[in-house]
Structure 1
């Protein structure tokens, strides 16, 4: 079960790791390509800052974003800023999110995210943690899936396996990490028919669309094709 206090501390730690890493960049690094198609590293940083604002809105009972066009426009407008401006924005927006979360009284309430998706407020700290950790990897400056905290990797695999569970476009699949942890996902009704195994970071990479799965072992068929997140 999620523990918002623990997860918020993990958000704080992950944000400090990210800020410390970005602070070592030279000024040109922010404009270089990230690992996300069509996005520079500045786009990734701008998205992280606006995501902190958006999740703070959710905590306050407001719409996450006014609309998708404004979200995209804000990211595009913020991407070309200087390294110093990105660092200040990321730090400030992150601190405001944590401050808002610190006064949240009812973690059991249902909140609305993008496109009508709902969730428990209890899960918002972990959602922010995932944004910071995975997009730190997306920056492509030395922080890899293998560097992620083990507890985060396992919980994110739990989340993604659940997200693809019963999905009609994903074959029924059993997932096994090298440490023996197992998950099931996909839309088959007869139990797992394809087995996928390997190190937990590689499994996370495949499930999150950040690696092609070539380092995984597959039994009972080809590696399942996963729809975009």
Structure 2
């Protein structure tokens, strides 16, 4: 069962952690490339602020974004801002998300996100937690996949494995850590396999989330599957 209140508290902790780390930057560092191709650190900070407002829209029954074009335009508009404005916007938008998340609501209802994707309202806080944690890593300022909370890493591996389950281009694939703490399966739509992929939790998450190439993983039963874009 999803505990949305717990996840809201985790989002708040992750946001404060990111804000504290980003506050050590300067205006020049905000304009430098992030780990995401084509995006500066300013793009990531702007995206995180606008994503918080977009998820408020979702929880309040409005379209997540006015359009894909509007989403991209807003990020490009806000990316060049100086650090103080970036941080103030991220803090304020995060507070709006928390306020919306703590309002009385039917958390069992189905909500619509981008591109027709639907989910339980109760999972929206976890989706926001994903955005904050992974994009903190994407900033490239010393926070790595190994630094993510263990609970988050385990749940995100499961979430991504579920997302790729049955995908027509991914063979049946077992995922596990060497200590046996994480064991799950994904894929199953493509011929071949089953493939067994083993590694650290950070390496498994990095591969599933498109943050690492999988070179740190051990593979049995075939080649490391090529995962489709998220």
Partner residue of 1:62? Answer: 62
The answer on whether the counterparts of 2:175 and 2:183 sit within 8 Å (CA) in structure 1 is yes
C-alpha separation between the residues in 2 aligned to 1:62 and 1:221? 45
**2:214 aligned with 1:206:** no
- Deviation, structure 1 residue 26: 1.9
- Deviation, structure 1 residue 190: 8.6
Q: Structure 2 unaligned runs (5+)?
A: none
Output aligned runs, 1:1-229, within 5 Å: 1-180=1-180, 181-188=182-189, 193-229=194-230
State the secondary structure of the residue aligned to 2:16.
helix
C-alpha separation between the residues in 2 aligned to 1:41 and 1:104? 35
C-alpha separation between the residues in 2 aligned to 1:79 and 1:190? 43
C-alpha separation between the residues in 2 aligned to 1:50 and 1:21? 19
State the secondary structure of the residue aligned to 2:27.
coil
Across the aligned residues of Structure 1 and Structure 2, the Cα RMSD in angstroms comes to 1.2
The answer on whether the counterparts of 1:55 and 1:124 sit within 8 Å (CA) in structure 2 is yes
Q: Structure 1 unaligned runs (5+)?
A: none
Q: 1:4 to 1:122 in 2, by over 3 A?
A: same
- Deviation, structure 1 residue 71: 0.2
TM-score (norm 2): 0.97
C-alpha separation between the residues in 1 aligned to 2:188 and 2:138? 29
- Deviation, structure 1 residue 172: 1.0
C-alpha separation between the residues in 2 aligned to 1:189 and 1:79? 40
C-alpha separation between the residues in 1 aligned to 2:202 and 2:6? 22
Q: 1:177 to 1:192 in 2, by over 3 A?
A: farther
The answer on whether the counterparts of 2:171 and 2:192 sit within 8 Å (CA) in structure 1 is no
C-alpha separation between the residues in 1 aligned to 2:192 and 2:150? 28
C-alpha separation between the residues in 1 aligned to 2:98 and 2:75? 21
The answer on whether the counterparts of 1:58 and 1:111 sit within 8 Å (CA) in structure 2 is yes
